[in-house]
Amino acid sequence: MQTPALLVLAAGMGSRYGGLKQIDPLGPNGEIIIDYSVHDAILAGFGKVVFVIKRELEDTFRQVIGSRFQDRIQVEYAYQDLDDLPGGFAPPAGRTKPWGTGHAVYAARKKLDGPFGIIGSDDFFGRDTLTQLGKFCAGRCDGTHLGMVGFRLCNTLSESGSVSRGVCQARDGMLVSVTERLDIRRDISGVISCAGGDRRLVLADESPVSLNVWALHSDVFPAMEEDFAAWLTEGAGDPMKREYYLPAFVDGLVKTGRASVAMMDTSSKWFGVTHQADKPQMQAALEAMHREGLYPPLR
């Protein structure tokens, strides 16, 4: 058994939401979303949390977030700097947009040694999700045996607008592929569909989807650096906006036989604030969880 770390991706600004939602009080006692994730991670056996942040936000994160947990769990920070790239590469002049989720994980490579879970900072994933992630990381995770918590699509929709999800294919409990699907929403007849070229594609309610909740190991970083360098060399897309996505990297490991990914199923309902209009629903859900005794005051 190994004591895993939790990597929290917190460098995004949430443009559709309209602000720095990572530190927006949403719980009944002023809790922010990260309060719940770290609380559940500690219960799940994680021994360290690493926040990937923008360097200019370090003081805010240390004051608002890190100070809350430093007496309960080891807290460290990694910085998603635009120029933190494989040797020989530099960002194009004028680019300000972060390089994406794959780069966010790459940015934390010097802070991780062994198995680690990955979550986003602006989503509520539920205790069962963190429990399964911690158990897998502690017992089964190495450089060739990775994991992913798969959510049921119907539990990850927003009532306020469309979402994007990685729709997964699995066989015998193992991930086969992840396909990014855009503009997912449920229509008035109850059917869930997504953009599909000149027509919309129907998706099953129980379709497993990725919310970038992964169990990885620091042994994958050499392969990630190689893959990231190849992606930069390829140079497809707008150089000011293109992003290096974590699911694409993991999908490449699976398809080339360099790693397998176990799919963990959770019945947890995702709550997020993709849009500002999601906030009241999120607040109501968290208040109900406190009333039911699932969480103590966390602030």
Query: pLDDT of 118-141, one tens digit each?
Result: 999 889 999 999 999 999 999 989
CA distance 17 to 257: 38
Q: Are 78 and 189 in contact (CB under 8 A)?
A: no
pLDDT at 20: 62
What does the block give as tokens for 195? 């953009």
Residue that the structure tokens 């990572």 belong to: 22
* 274-291 core/surface letters (b: 16 or more CB in 10 A; e: else): bbbebeeebbeebeebbe
Q: Is the pLDDT of residue 50 over 70?
A: yes
Average pLDDT over residues 219-234: 97
- H-type helices in 65-150, by residue range? 67-69, 101-106, 127-139
C-alpha distance from residue 279 to each of 27, 89, 91, 111, 296 (Å) = 11, 40, 35, 33, 21
Average pLDDT over residues 34-43: 95
pLDDT at 274: 72
pLDDT at 250: 93
CA distance 5 to 48: 5
Torsion of CA 77, 82, 85, 90, to 10 degrees: -160
Average pLDDT over residues 177-188: 91
End-to-end CA distance of the chain: 32
Please report how the helices 127-139 and 33-43 are oriented relative to each other, as an axis angle in degrees rounded to 10: 40
Q: Is the pLDDT of residue 272 over 90?
A: no
Q: Which residue has the higher pLDDT, 213 or 281?
A: 213
Average pLDDT over residues 164-172: 91
Q: Is the pLDDT of residue 13 over 80?
A: no
Specify the amino acid at residue 90. A
pLDDT grade for 227, boundaries at 50, 70 and 90: very high
pLDDT at 65: 83
Mean pLDDT for the chain overall: 91
Question: Which candidate, 164, 166, 201, places its Cα nearest to that of 183?
Answer: 164
pLDDT grade for 59, boundaries at 50, 70 and 90: confident
Q: Is the pLDDT of residue 18 over 80?
A: no
pLDDT at 277: 83
pLDDT grade for 57, boundaries at 50, 70 and 90: confident
pLDDT at 122: 84
What does the block give as tokens for 37? 């994730």
pLDDT at 19: 54
Where on the phi/psi map is residue 126: left (φ > 0), alpha (ψ -120 to 50), or beta? left
Question: Which candidate, 117, 124, 99, 96, places its Cα nearest to that of 24?
Answer: 124
pLDDT grade for 21, boundaries at 50, 70 and 90: low
pLDDT grade for 45, boundaries at 50, 70 and 90: very high
The predicted model scores a pTM of 0.92
CA distance 29 to 298: 7
pLDDT grade for 3, boundaries at 50, 70 and 90: very high
